[in-house]
Each structure stands twice: as C-alpha cells, then as structure tokens.
Amino acid sequence: MDLDRAIDVYLDHIKVERNLAANSVAAYARDLAKFRSFSAERHVDSLEEVTANLVLEYLIWLSTQRMAVRTQARNLVALRGLFKHLRAEKLMELDPTAAVELPKIGRKLPEVLSLDEVERLLAAPDRATTLGLRDAAMLELLYATGLRVSELCRLRVDDLDLEVGFVSTVGKGRKQRLVPVGESARELLRQYQTTARPTLDKRRSNFLFLSRRGSPLTRQAFWKTIGAWARKAGIRKTIYPHKLRHSFATHLLERGADLRAVQAMLGHADISTTQIYTHVSRSHIVEIYRRHHPRA
C-alpha cells in the first residue's frame, strides 16, 4: 500500500470509528502530511519503505526546525497511531516507531486565576446590555462547569436543565457527560434566556449562545471577548477560555473535591490528566506556607 492511501485509511478510522472531533482529526492530518512530505523528498512512497531509521531521521529533522519538544512528541504520537492501526489491520508487519522513544518533555503546570481575578472577570461585563448579559452568562457557565470553549459554543438550549441544575455536553471522543451548574450561573442563564437571547435569536436557532447577527457564537469570537473583559477588569495576565477550565479544576481540588469527581466533570479519559491539578494545588499551599509561616 502506498503511504498516501495508508494515511487516508487511518484518518477515516479516527474520524468514523473513534469519533474524534474535527479539530483533532485536522491536527493529525497536518502532522502526518508533514511526515509524508519529508518521506517524499527521500523518495519513500510505500509502507514497505518506511523504516525505523527514516522515523529517526524525521525526528532529527523536526528538532532542527526550531520546533518545541512537545510538538515533536505530538508528531511522533501521530505516527505511532498510524502504524499501530495499520498493523492491527494487517496492512504491515513491523511498526517502524516501536523502538523510537518519545522526546523527553517536562510537564508544564497549567496557569490559573486567583479567586479575586475570577471575581473581577465575572463582574466585568455590563449586564444591563444584551451582549454584556450574554458574555456574563458564558463566563459564569464556563467557570461553573469547566467546559472547553468548543463545548460551550456548541451548547444547544435543550442541553441545559436549569431546574435540576445540569448541563449536558459532548466532549472528546464524542463522549457525553453531565456537569452540575451552580445557582449563580443558573440565575444569570435564566436572565439571559428571558431577556437577551430572544433579542439575538433572529434565525430561530437551537444554539444557546448567539452572536449579534443571530448565528452561533464561534470560539474565535469568544476568545476576543474574554480578552476584552479581562483588560476591563484590570487583569494583566493573558486570559484565554481554557484558563477558566484550569481554574475551575484547581479551585475545586483546593477545597477538598474528590479527584475522580473532578475527572468526570472535566471529561478526562485518564485520571493522570486530572492529577496535574493536584500539583497546582500543592504549589498554592506551599506558597501560602512560605508567605505566612514565621520560619518558612
């Protein structure tokens, strides 16, 4: 089988059978296209010609491109997934990535907002205006649930149960989960749905959060929106939607929440992904100790 066809087979697999999100499939496609281009320059066009030496050469080449170690590792993960699937389908005998180790990467702790910064950010939108009320509701819901920004923008009206206090969302791998919503966010969402959303709903949309034109609010638009409110709140840090997700998890764990419960709310498949927030919590405790203990 030629390499182009093999890559297409794998991308179809992760899209259809594994139900990966469109953004994830696109990321895999970009990384594998990079390897395909590298292979073509060395006149490698078929699976049989792909060797461990070629994969090593590729990793060395990536390291010369001023590429972050984490990005190099991601490219190797894409190749490993490709060849693992091809072997499982008996389309090749040996996995050329089997003996190739991932580049060593340090685990970067997520940046979080302090409670004071969260309060200032949530209070920044002018709730007397249609768009301000919408933005306030989005920010409150994001911090109350730890949703990803893509999940937030995809929410439909029926995904929200304000009486019971839950939101239903579909995360990575098309996995559905229910996340509780606190009363503060529920009250703002009631106000938004009663007063602001009818004004924005010019196309009878099912989406919960709408733009000025009545179309679903995009991730890019919300990125700009949250940055503008952060500046108004006097927050000097770079603010992006995922930072509220990090803050949601960290603040829960700092107050004694069960790690498994936080994992379920975040929609993490592996608890080791959630455990990174325990390290953030510990660093917070250490900082308090150093600041306040007389002999620290």
Catalogue the active-site residues. Answer: 148, 172, 242, 245, 268, 277
89, 22 in Cβ contact below 8 A?
no
Residue 162's nearest CA partner among 182, 148, 178, 176 is 182
Residue 52 neighbours by CB distance under 10 Å: 14
